[in-house]
Amino acid sequence: LIFILLIIIAAIFAPFVAPYNPDKINVNAILQPPSFAHILGTDQLGRDVFSRLIYGARISVEVGFISVSISLFIGIIIGAFAGYYAGLTDAFLMRFVDIMLTFPSFFLILAVSAILRPSIINIMIIIGLTSWMGVARIIRAEYMQNREKDYVLSAKAAGASDLYIMFIEILPNVVAPILVSATLGVAGAILIQASLAFLGIGIMPPTPSWGGMLSRGKTYIMVAWWLTLFPGIAILLTVLSFNLVGEALRNALDPRYSPAENVSD
């Protein structure tokens, strides 16, 4: 959690944290190894790697949170209607979810990204529109468990509308799995964005992104190892941190989950 907070703070205050302009080319400092002047070295154009990592964090954090917000919005809406009304509504919506799940999400993202104009906004929208299915299933299951509970029946008896019951009464009681899903979703979105940038899709140069830095650094891996090592470590630690926080939230918020049983398994 501390590492995630540091990444977010560095992303927000990147102009004050980064020691150099991330796009400034310096032909006198091409492929310099880590030193006091450039703590993580320089790239093939003499740009400071540390500064580009800081600005790259902006892209990763922005894509992670906004794309997950989109997927949560869609997943909550579909899952709530399916779980609350059940019957034909549930059957129709869940078959739609099943159809979406038949498409490999990453290849679907690749296909759509190749059609649309490459931009960070398109990447966020594409990831959000192709990653809501798991959220919908989780929300559906929670609504099915809650729709017959006393507080819901009391709201119905008081004349509350279905929308009021779904989003004012039930939704606050299923926040725990939403938080867990959101945390893990951010990690997935960051990894997808880095993968797309590595393949040259989405975030285009000279905008710094961790995946793009990793992709361009592989050309010089035999002579400039730092170009691939440090972006790779940044991706690894950020995704791992979000996954660990998500796991911790599940342990703390889900009463049905027993860490001891999980270890024994």
Tell me the per-residue pLDDT of 77-97, one tens digit each, with 9 for 90 and over. Answer: 999 999 999 889 999 999 999
Cβ-contact 54, 18 below 8 angstroms: yes
Average confidence (pLDDT) over 229-246: 94
Rounded Cα gap, residues 185 and 178, in angstroms: 10
- Higher pLDDT among residues 260 and 102, named by residue: 102
**243 phi, psi to nearest 5 deg:** -65, -40
Residue-wise pLDDT for 31-72, tens only, equals 999 999 899 999 999 999 999 999 999 989 999 999 999 999
Q: What is the pLDDT of residue 263?
A: 46
Give pLDDT, residue 264.
44
Mean pLDDT calculated for residue range 137-153: 91
List pLDDT tens digits, range 183-204. 999 999 999 888 888 888 777 7
- Report pLDDT for 254: 67
Which residue, among 208, 226, 81, 66, has the nearest Cα to 139 in the 3D structure? Answer: 81
Averaged confidence pLDDT in the chain: 88
Distances in whole angstroms, Cα of residue 5 to Cα of each of 16, 61, 197, 228: 16, 11, 24, 24
% of the chain exceeding 90 in pLDDT: 54
Stretch 251-261: mean pLDDT, rounded? Answer: 63
pLDDT at residue 257 in the model: 56
**Residue-wise pLDDT tens digits, 209-228:** 899 899 889 889 889 999 99
pLDDT at 112: 77
The region of weakest confidence among 21-25, 56-60, 252-256 is: 252-256
User: For residue 90, what are the contacts with CB-CB under 8 A and spacing of at least 6?
Assistant: 82, 83, 140
Q: How confident is the model at residue 103 (pLDDT cuts 50, 70, 90)?
A: confident
For residue 259, name the pLDDT band (cuts at 50, 70, 90). low
Is residue 242 within 8 A of residue 222, CB to CB? The reply is no
154-187 pLDDT, tens per residue? 999 998 899 999 999 999 988 888 998 999 999 9
